[in-house]
A = this chain, B = another copy of it.
Amino acid sequence: MSVQLLDTATSVLLKDPTASLGDVAKAAGVGRTTLHKRFPTRADLIHALATEALDLVGEAISSVDLDTDDAIEQLVEKLVPLGPRIEFLLRFPNLRDDERLSVRLTTLDQPVIDLISRLQGTRLRADLPAWWITQILYAGVYSAWEGIAAGRLAPLDAPRLVLTTFYLGVSDAGAADRS
């Protein structure tokens, strides 16, 4: 129930960031008064959505053993379904106005960046900045979610698609190595 509310609230606000609280309440199938009781102000609601998104993404990252060989594979697998939450964190720039949220946002990526940096000694190209590789990884995850949301991509195909593009790129030469 409660999770359902945050879920639809997220999607409504993503479709139209200026949607009124009445719209959110209606979409969630609850009265505006009820919504207000849970989240006294609009800022509270958005803050709650951000916090929940941070929690979910954080859990996803820390649920993966970043020292194992297929860490990135597991990471992508866990992150793709969180598409809307990631989109929320990306598309509400003013979240950084809140001190605590801002800290959590920057802290969130750090273990991933560290992982990438470590892998640059072995499996990953060392001639690219770690932040760039991380960014590209997230971009792939997010693009995959977009494809799923648009109905163009099967959820089960997503991780493979993201990973092969991430590792090998789209040039014809790279494809021969892998199956």
- The complex is assembled from copies of this chain, and their number is 2
Contact A17–B15 (Cβ < 8 Å): no
Is the CB–CB distance between A174 and B172 below 8 Å? Answer: no
Q: Is the CB of B161 within 8 A of A125?
A: no
In the complex, the answer to whether A170 meets B167 with C-beta atoms within 8 Å is: yes
Q: A124-B171, A136-B165, A168-B171 are in contact. Are A129 and B143 (CB under 8 A)?
A: no
CB-based contact A124/B172 at 8 Å: yes
Q: A139-B140, A147-B132, A170-B166 are in contact. Are A125 and B175 (CB under 8 A)?
A: yes
Q: Can you name the residue of chain B whose Cβ is closest to the Cβ of A141?
A: B139
A4 within 8 Å of B (CB atoms): no
Q: Would you give the shortest CB distance from A133 to chain B, in whole angstroms?
A: 5
Mark out the residues of chain A between 104 and 128 whose CB falls within 8 Å of any chain B CB in the assembled complex. Answer: 122-128
Range class of the A interface residue count: 35 or more
Q: How far is the CA of A164 from the CA of B174 in the complex (A)?
A: 12
CA distance A165 to B167 in the complex (A): 9
Q: How far is the CB of A29 from chain B (nearest CB, A)?
A: 22
Q: Is A34 an interface residue (CB 8 A)?
A: no
> Closest residue to A19 on the B side, CB-wise?
B94
Kindly state whether residue A91 has any CB partner on chain B within 8 Å: yes
Query: Contact at B131–A152, with CB atoms within 8 Å?
Result: yes
CB-based contact A174/B168 at 8 Å: yes
Q: Is the CB of A16 within 8 A of B136?
A: no
- Given A128-B161, A132-B143, A169-B174, 7 additional A-B pairs, CB 8 A: A91-B91, A132-B161, A135-B143, A139-B142, A139-B143, A165-B169, A168-B169
8 shortest A-B CB distances, which residue pairs?
Answer: A169-B169, A139-B139, A167-B171, A168-B169, A125-B175, A135-B143, A167-B169, A133-B170
